[in-house]
């Protein structure tokens, strides 16, 4: 039996962000997307438009628009005249996104290393320090958010910040794989090590080494996908 969106509506409502003035559908999309990526809304879970509208205090119009955008991103599946549910993790989709992201981030890394300007990595260094702190506290949720912030800082430093949104719009499947992979022993330490070596190589102007580490870093989760699938078969 598939779960409803909210098992305990009063508790769920306390967790939900209050939508601000502006585009309700955009805010709703962002909130639902984050909950899907965080696996709070699990693959295969039924999504009720009525329950979502009631929980967020909006009409069904922004709910419909938010779900349509999530469907375009491959994060929900809609069955006409039937139901809408969170999509299962699509490994082929994840592989395609990985190809795109690797292509973009290798070029970003090479550009930053060739620029030979330490000022460009100041923000990324600050985020890495925060990641180290939350890793020590074993705060994996914050660690994962800082991981995304770290990569965004590199896009921003290279002057291609808008490309981050393009890549992220396709990253729902691989981001859920990363969420499942992050608690594995040694994973957070491996991420910190790669981030540190990437910045070190960029700061030294060593583009080849920086790109080599980026390739190692971005291929890590997909190298363990079969193990992840074996441990979480219902998510695929």
Residues in the chain: 236
Which two structure tokens, joined as six digits, stand for 59?
């009409």
**What domains are there in the chain, each with its CATH number?**
9-86 (1.10.10.10), 91-235 (1.20.120.530)
Q: What angle do CA 190, 208, 223 make, to 5 degrees?
A: 35
CA distance 136 to 142: 12
CA distance 179 to 216: 18
pLDDT value, residue 23: 85
Q: How high is the mean pLDDT in each 10-residue block of the chain (236 residues)?
A: 42 49 85 96 96 94 96 94 93 96 98 96 98 95 96 98 95 96 96 98 98 96 95 97
């Amino acid at each position: 039996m598939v779960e409803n969106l909210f098992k305990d509506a009063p508790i769920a409502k306390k967790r939900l962000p209050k939508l601000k003035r502006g585009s309700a559908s955009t805010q709703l999309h962002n909130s639902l997307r984050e909950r899907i990526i965080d696996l709070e809304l699990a693959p295969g879970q039924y999504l009720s438009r009525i329950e979502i509208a009631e929980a967020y205090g909006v009409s069904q119009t922004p709910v419909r628009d938010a779900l349509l955008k999530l469907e375009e991103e491959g994060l929900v599946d809609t069955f006409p005249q039937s139901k809408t549910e969170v999509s299962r993790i699509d490994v082929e989709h994840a592989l395609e996104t990985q190809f795109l992201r690797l292509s973009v981030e290798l070029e970003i890394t090479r550009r930053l290393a060739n620029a030979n300007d330490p000022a460009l990595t100041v923000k990324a260094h600050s985020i890495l320090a925060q990641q180290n702190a939350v890793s020590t506290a074993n705060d994996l949720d914050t660690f994962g958010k800082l991981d995304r912030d770290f990569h965004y800082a590199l896009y921003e430093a290279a002057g291609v910040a808008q490309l981050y949104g393009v890549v992220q719009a396709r990253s729902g499947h691989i981001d859920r794989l990363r969420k499942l992979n992050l608690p594995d022993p040694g994973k957070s330490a491996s991420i910190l090590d790669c981030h540190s070596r990437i910045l070190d190589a960029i700061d030294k102007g060593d583009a080849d080494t920086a790109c080599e580490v980026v390739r190692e870093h971005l291929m890590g989760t997909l190298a363990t996908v079969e193990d992840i699938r074996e441990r979480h078969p219902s998510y695929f």
